Chains A and B, each alone.
Chain A
Amino acid sequence: MSTALPPSPLVGLGERGTAETEATPPRASTIPLSPALPHEGGGGSTTVLSVRNLSVALPGGADRPFAAENISFDVNAGEILCLLGESGSGKSVISFAVMGLLPDNVRVSAGEILLGDENLLTLSPAALRGKRGDDIAMVFQEPMTALNPVMTCGDQLDELLAEHTQLSANERKAKTLAMFEAVKLPEPDRIFSSYPHQLSGGQRQRIMIAMALILEPKLLIADEPTTALDVTTQAEVLSLIKTLQRERGTAVLFITHDMGVVAEIADRVVVLQNGKQVEAGTKDQVLRQPREAYTQMLIASVPGTEPPAEGTLHDEAALLSVTGLGKTYSSGGWFQKKRTTEAAKNVSFTLHPGETVGIVGESGSGKSTVARCITRLIDPTVGDMQLGNTRLDGVSRDSLKLARKRIQIIFQDPYRSLDPRQRVGEAIIEGPLNFGVSRNSAMARARELMNLVRLSPDVLSRYPNEFSGGQRQRISIARALALDPEVLICDEAVSALDVSVQAQVLKLLEEIQAQLNLAILFITHDLRVAAQICDRVLVMQRGEVVEQGTARDVFITPKHAYTQRLLASAPGRGFEFATQRNVEA
């Protein structure tokens, strides 16, 4: 899979050839792609991290012998190198190898990792620990778990400075506050004495970045740092990382699965697949003229933000109509002051047979609350819901049983939506059995459904852990279809999937919809996905619908300021994949 890159004037000269070409020592005359500032009287080479022919072996019994094989790349001062790959590509293993944090049963079997001219692989654990604080810093995906919950944010930075510098207490505090200022945290004084749980996700990630950069490391490793964040917060954090890294000349090794993030932040890109280096080059080369079929496929799988031209009009009677739906949570009671939260208020829309309506919004916008109210997994506080002539609200859950059959839901997390102790065949026929279908005919239907979702009917007797995320999501679709529903609710159904798998599942949903004339309510935070498959879109913010209309109207001429901000935050808008429709499986 590994390929040699033909010499190109555009490629950073520090760029290493790939696996098969002999690694040449970094040249002192390297011209960095970005205006790199020599670091701390660095002088000489500006290559900060050099990974050469790195192979990481997996223990016996794993699905492949190497987690990463023959990986070579350089990260220069003042430059951001993105490791791009889908799940299982080995990108995180490489970053763990650099940090010396590989699990015990996984070891580096060949190659070297040079920080400056020191090989990190031969350092003692104590020396490596020193390097980790002073020279290499890390930012992880989930800031809540990476911060100590019982220490104030200020104390956590103070501890770092006390450990690694000779500064006095006052100097440390001043430096910490300055750093909070630099990562654009509001009211640094308040944040200094706040605990992590008192801050928002974006603020916590800023604290992580402040912690990572306060010792002025040469190398910052960022492992999916914005994946857990909402799209508008992500845009802010990405631009923050970029600004700080430019100012300080830090080399950044940025690990991501998101093509849009690469487009926003990368100087150079290394594409990985199944532990092998597929392609490497500058951002423009890789994203605009990908050489390898795999990279081309990845880019083609990224949905664009521009909805397809044709908009089908559905003027039949509405199948599902929701009017004035609201859900209020109240907490407190005897000992506490009562507090109410409006998770959704005054949501109204209709859904016609064969139509796809999208609900888009960031986390906490109430989009999932709406889905769960419609399926009556939770009870709405106010509002009318009608499915054809049947009322969905106000009736008891038992008399709802027949309506349940007509509305089915697919959940986000394919690893948690199937019972790990239930064979997939049993999961698919569970619904029909509940409605009195005989076991034999339910099983026969399950086999048909497996064909419909492109899985072999022979695997019905297996347990869910034998399937990949994409396959599990197909099984979930088959389970939902087993009851012949009229409405299918997809609650972030493709958000946990790799982009190439996501494209396949979306295509499958479109085909099934055309075949069965299903009405689909598609709930997602991903504007690209919504743009591609929805006929109409509702945009939700803090429980309210702020804008709704046809997909073309909403995405091309957004009227509400929040929709405009969401669209502007979608990463990678300057690149072709971002605007063209290109969903191919």
Chain B
Amino acid sequence: MNSTVKRVLKNGAVRFGLIVLSVLVILAILAPVLGTVDPAWLDAINMNQKPMTTADWTGPDNKTVPYTFLMGTDSFGRDVYSRVIYGIRVSLVVGVTVAVVSLIIGTFLGLTAGYFRRVDAILMRVMDGMMAIPGILLAIALVAAWGAQLSTVIIAIAVPEIPRVTRLVRALVLSIREEPYIEAAISVGTPTWKILLKHVLPNSVAPMVVQGTYVCASAILLEAILSFLGLGLPSEIPTWGNIMAEARVVFSSAPHNMWFPGIFLAFTVLAVNMLGDGLRDTLDPKFNKRGEKR
């Protein structure tokens, strides 16, 4: 197991992804002490400031301090730098939670469908039905029904991912259940639940981790899309999608309001995807023997 971790950490893509993500996590945790101000505070005097402008900033407590707007301000006078840094929190929370939730539920359903033939047909038809619902449409419906809050957004993004994870896990289980070591476990009298937990699950972990990273990346993107369309979190909550949505109106005069959250979003998704690719290359046996000369 240790040698696997070492091998994975040797991979360049994994290293890049891990470093970028660690930096983002640190930034998100330390956001209040990184020279930020209240990201939701509207300071009417400092509307549409250019990046790097220094001006007097009046906070919620009515004190006025000199402050350098590293990334400028938006058309409501909110500090873009603070909003972008606090926005990391929402993106990471949504990405990781969606990945974990859809993996847990999808794994449970996939194990059931893959191992018990009778449940399979019914369960997979339900999953097919779920896959026929467009993700964004479902999100719009849920947000309209339950109101715009973090949990709604997470559920709205996680639900369409569940059938994909289920399909993957089911396919893994279908091939693993034919392995002789499963038959060996049956013939030494191991009960089915133990076979699933001790033999099937550990042998399907690697592809599931890889799938988890892809789910995470697409959840971060989808959350940004929903916010951009005004269907995600309320606009006062700093998310990259919200920042870009407001920047759209003033894009010709203040394009930087779009650039900064956009660059953060792109880098985060790139890092997560590269982590996933690196994990796939190192963990998936199919990619081990590549590189033959032809």
Contacts and interface: CB of A to CB of B under 8 A. Distances in A.
Contacts of A482: 188
Nearest to A418: B181
Contacts of B198: 419, 422
B188 A408 contact: yes
A479 B188 contact: yes
A377 B186 CA distance: 8
A430 B188 CA distance: 7
A434 B292 CA distance: 46
A100 B188 CA distance: 47
Contact of A408 (B180, B187, B292): B187
B189 A411 contact: no
Contact of B187 (A102, A377, A412, A420): A377
A128 B187 CA distance: 52
Interface in A22-66: none
B183 interface: yes
B184 interface: yes
A404 B187 contact: yes
Contact of A104 (B189, B190, B293): B293
Interface string B171-193: 00000000111011111111100
B189 A419 contact: no
B199 interface: yes
B189 A103 contact: no
Most chain B CB inside 10 Å of its own CB: which residue of A412, A417, A421: A421
Contact of B202 (A421, A431, A435, A479): A421
B291 A431 contact: no
A413 interface: yes
Interface string A102-143: 111100000000000000000001000000000000000000
Given A377-B187, A404-B187, A419 B291 contact: no
Nearest to B182: A419
A377 B179 CA distance: 12
Nearest to A372: B183
B4 to A, nearest CB: 10
Contacts of A479: 184, 188
Contact of A413 (B180, B202, B293): B180
B203 interface: yes
Given A413-B180, A422-B199, A105 B185 contact: no
A104 B292 contact: yes
Nearest to B203: A421
B184 A417 contact: yes
Contacts of B291: 103-105
A420 B180 contact: no
A483 interface: yes
A375 B187 CA distance: 7
A409 interface: yes
A412 B181 CA distance: 11
Contact of B180 (A103, A417, A422): A417
A405 B187 CA distance: 8
Interface in A385-422: 401, 404-405, 407-409, 411-413, 416-422
Interface in A527-554: none
B188 A411 contact: no
Contacts of B191: 434
A72 B294 CA distance: 25
Contacts of A476: 184
Contacts of A405: 189
A482 B185 CA distance: 13
Given A105-B291, A419-B199, A430 B190 contact: yes
A560 B188 CA distance: 38
A150 interface: no
Contacts of A104: 291-293
A101 B198 CA distance: 40
A417 B181 contact: yes
B45 to A, nearest CB: 62
Contacts of B185: 419, 430
Interface string A430-453: 110011000000000000000000
Nearest to B178: A416
Most chain A CB inside 10 Å of its own CB: which residue of B181, B187, B203, B292: B187
B199 A434 contact: no
Nearest to A408: B187
Interface string A64-107: 00000000000000000000000000000000000011111100
B292 A411 contact: no
A409 B184 contact: yes
A431 B199 contact: no
Interface string B194-213: 10001100110000000000
A421 B203 CA distance: 7
Nearest to A482: B188
A125 B293 CA distance: 9
A482 B289 CA distance: 37
Contact of A102 (B180, B190, B203, B293): B293
A483 B188 contact: yes
Nearest to B179: A416
A228 to B, nearest CB: 19
Interface string A545-577: 000000000000000000000000000000000
A215 B183 CA distance: 47
A404 B190 CA distance: 10
Interface string A466-489: 000000000010010011000000
Contacts of B294: 101
Interface string B271-294: 000000000000000000101111
Contacts of B181: 416-420, 422
B188 to A, nearest CB: 3
Given A102-B293, A103-B293, A419 B203 contact: yes
Contacts of A430: 185, 188, 190
A581 to B, nearest CB: 31
Contacts of A411: 180, 183-184
A418 B203 CA distance: 12
A479 B294 CA distance: 43
B39 to A, nearest CB: 46
Contacts of A419: 181, 185, 198-199, 202-203
Given A377-B183, A413-B180, A417-B180, A431 B188 contact: yes
Contacts of B186: 377
Contacts of A431: 188-190
A102 B291 CA distance: 10
14 contacts: A101-B292, A103-B293, A104-B291, A377-B187, A408-B187, A409-B183, A409-B184, A411-B180, A412-B180, A417-B184, A419-B181, A421-B203, A434-B190, A483-B188
Given A404-B188, A482-B188, 6 more contacts: A409-B187, A416-B180, A420-B181, A430-B190, A434-B191, A476-B184
6 shortest interchain CB distances as A-B pairs: A431-B188, A417-B180, A421-B202, A411-B180, A434-B189, A419-B181
